[in-house]
Amino acid sequence: MTSLRPFTCDDLFRFNNINLDPLTETYGIPFYLQYLAHWPEYFIVAEAPGGELMGYIMGKAEGSVAREEWHGHVTALSVAPEFRRLGLAAKLMELLEEISERKGGFFVDLFVRVSNQVAVNMYKQLGYSVYRTVIEYYSASNGEPDEDAYDMRKALSRDTEKKSIVPLPHPVRPEDIE
């Protein structure tokens, strides 16, 4: 049976099977450690019965309560290719949403490549909608142009009027994101 548990420092040496996927954004070790130190409750791993890591979600709480922008943010969600289509991503998202609800968030947001239609469709099935397009959010390699991102959001119960998910009428640039 799959177990969902807090991510630990030791997992940093065991998650290459997940992070080597080309659609997974990878970061330096200090970045992961910062999340572990500041938002450990938002960093969850799925582990197979034999101990192999199947996937993880890494997020944080951020924003302004006064402006009704306090929210949970999904920084990374990835499932190893051999464990996809089992509902793990949906379960990890559900856990992050529950944590964000307990922390009084108005919504949960995430960024996803416009070209990653499999992920965009999955997030839509989970109740997320496109709030705005962020121009050239993802840096490209090999001389390719930078890629746009969708900022997708799902309102939580605190946002009774669903104001947080009203789409913006025009795209924004990365420097315009708060």
What average pLDDT score do residues 130-152 get? Answer: 88
Chain Cα centroid distance, residue 54: 16
pLDDT-derived band at 142 (thresholds 50, 70, 90) equals confident
State residue 41's pLDDT score: 97
Give the chain's mean pLDDT.
Answer: 93
**Domains along the sequence of the chain with CATH:** 3-176 (3.40.630.30)
- The answer to whether 171 touches 132, Cβ cutoff 8 Å, is yes
Tokens 């104001």 belong to 163
What's the pLDDT tens digit per position in 36-70?
999 999 999 999 999 999 999 999 999 988 888 99
Q: Is the pLDDT of residue 150 over 80?
A: yes
User: pTM for the complete prediction?
Assistant: 0.92
State residue 138's pLDDT score: 87
> Within 10 A of 52 (CB to CB), how many other CB atoms are there?
15
CA angle at residue 164 from 162 to 34, to 5 degrees?
135
Handedness of CA 18, 22, 25, 26 (dihedral sign): positive
State residue 165's pLDDT score: 95
